[in-house]
Amino acid sequence: MPAAELVPAELLERDEVSLDGLPDDDPVEALALSGPVLAEPGAEPAPSSSTSPGTPSSLSRKSRLPPPPPAAPEAEPEPVAPGTGVHEARVRPPEIATTQWPDRDAVLGDADGDGARRGSLERGGLLRLLLRVAELRLDARLVLSTGDETLELEVAGGRRVSVSGPAASRAAAALRARLPHAPRDEASALEALDAAVASGAVSWLARDRALRVGRERLLADAVAAPRLTFTLTRTVPRPSGSGTLGRPLAAAVVEAARRAIGEKAARAMLGGAVVVAPGPRLEAMAAEGAIAPELALLFERLRGAPLERVLAEAVDEPGAAGLVAALAAGGALIATSTVPPEVSVAERAQAARREIEIADRTAEEADYFAVLGVTPDCSDRDVEQAFEARAQALAALPLEELGEALLEPARRRALEALEEARRVLGRPRWRAAYARALSPAS
């Protein structure tokens, strides 16, 4: 097809573009690849080169377009942290706020002459110590001794780097059926694990998993220990970019508490009967992954609730009691005791006398619903729970200890009335008939 047919008619009518200086054989192809050659104003046109037959003469005139503005100098790139250069956003180490080691700290204690912190911890003390180290994002080495075992924990910037202790012995115990022989100590346990891997009886994955679980159990046992000694020393901070795959320390400590601290131990750590409320560190520990967001929301909703209700609401959460104990140790929850202040023997005796007199008078004068403290539309379960609560409260009164033994016959009458009310109201048909008999319409 001739070149003139490839050029739009409106372009042929304009005298703005010059193709005289193009060295290409085909001016249309040259225009597509190189763009127009712009002549300076007042300059003579460049000598014409050979062109293809049929090149329009109207395309060989001077351009009136101004010269392009000079390019702006390129800004120097910002320095980038050392890395592979691939996916810079991913290889750049995360910015972690660090805190200087405090000279004095209520949880960490005071430093000795060599800069180390030493002492002994009662039950729950290790939770507070580890979560404080995590909160300050310290670089430290912690050596713990329970008397029977020694555990060494290294942390860097709030992350657990390593756990050293008799983990191989625990791993060997978990895989003992597949080991060539029963190990005698930690060294022989590690040899037995390696031999089992070499023989194919145990895979590398199973070996490493068993060692990891063994280390986690070491930490869990230390967290639950009734007493231990510790030495906390400062370590050299790791250089920027040399991150670790270790788990966040706060999350590891909370998981250890879930595993090892039951409800009885948790109550002892919290101080007995308590109500629970969110603390200043709840949001931070949730952001660090120590607890799930829905659990943080649950604690917000149950603000001021007793521990019993919190545990009942979290019945599907494994290790809920240990979780509450750990969060309270880390400042994420605040546990306030509900134990009433100590009262005198005379005050206790007066309260017991009043309680028995009311129960005896109610048994004599009131109906069965009032004796149990239930309504006519109650259920069988309501009747049973009311009976147990009132009977246990009366039976628990130490009348002889309080010098009120003369109230024993009145207590016995009140208990007999509770039993009789339970027998009648505990059956739906009898309860309905009794309610109809009490109704004024009947």
Residues 142 and 246 in one domain: yes
- Give pLDDT, residue 126: 93
Q: How far apart are CA 317 and CA 55, in angstroms?
A: 84
Final residue belonging to a domain, choices 318, 337, 356: 337
Q: 135, 136, 159: which is closest to 284 by C-alpha? A: 135
Cα–Cα distance for residue pair 391/58, rounded to 1 Å: 115
Residue 74 within a domain: no
Q: Does residue 205 sit within a domain?
A: yes
Strand residues in 109-158 grouped as ranges (E): 117-122, 140-145, 150-156
Quick one: 163 and 213 in the same domain?
yes
The per-residue pLDDT for range 265-291, each reduced to its tens digit, is 998 888 877 888 999 999 889 888 888
Q: Is residue 42 part of a domain?
A: yes
From 250, 281, 306, the end of a domain falls on 250
Residue 1 lies in a domain: yes
Q: Is residue 173 part of a domain?
A: yes
What pLDDT, on a 0 to 100 scale, did the predictor assign at position 338?
A: 78
- Residues in CB range of 208: below 8 A, 6 or more apart: none
pLDDT at residue 422, rounded to an integer: 93
User: End of a domain among 285, 302, 337?
Assistant: 337
- Residue recorded with tokens 């409106």: 10
Looking at the structure, do residues 364 and 314 belong to the same domain, yes or no? no
- Residue 141 CA to residue 55 CA, distance in Å, equals 84
Q: Which residues of the chain have pLDDT under 50?
A: 15, 17-19, 21-22, 24-44, 46-65, 75, 77-98, 240-244, 442
Report the domain count for the chain: 4
Residue 157 pLDDT? 85
> Both 241 and 292 in a single domain?
no
| 162 and 225 share one domain | yes
Positive or negative CA dihedral for 324, 327, 328, 329?
positive
**Domain span including residue 293:** 261-337
Q: What tokens appear for 320 in the block?
A: 């809920």
Q: Are residues 131 and 236 in the same domain?
A: yes
Residue 255 lies in a domain: no
The answer to the question of residue 97 being in a domain is no
How far apart CA 362 and CA 409 sit, in angstroms, is: 15
Judgement on whether residues 237 and 286 belong to the same structural domain of the protein: no
pLDDT tens per residue across span 179-229:
877 788 889 888 999 989 999 999 999 999 999 999 989 999 999 998 999
Same domain, 132 and 12: no
What's the confidence (pLDDT) of residue 340? Answer: 64
Q: What is the CATH number of the domain that holds 375?
A: 1.10.287
Cα–Cα distance measured from residue 352 to residue 399, given in angstroms and rounded to the nearest whole number: 8
In a domain, 292, yes or no: yes
Residues 136 and 241 reside in one and the same domain: yes
Shared domain for 131 and 184, answered yes or no, is yes
Whether residues 129 and 222 fall in one domain: yes
Residues 151 and 239 in one domain: yes
Long-range interactions of 298-306: CB distance < 8 A, separation 24+ = 299/327, 299/333, 302/276, 303/277, 303/278, 304/275, 304/276, 304/277, 305/275, 305/276, 306/273, 306/274, 306/275, 306/276, 306/338
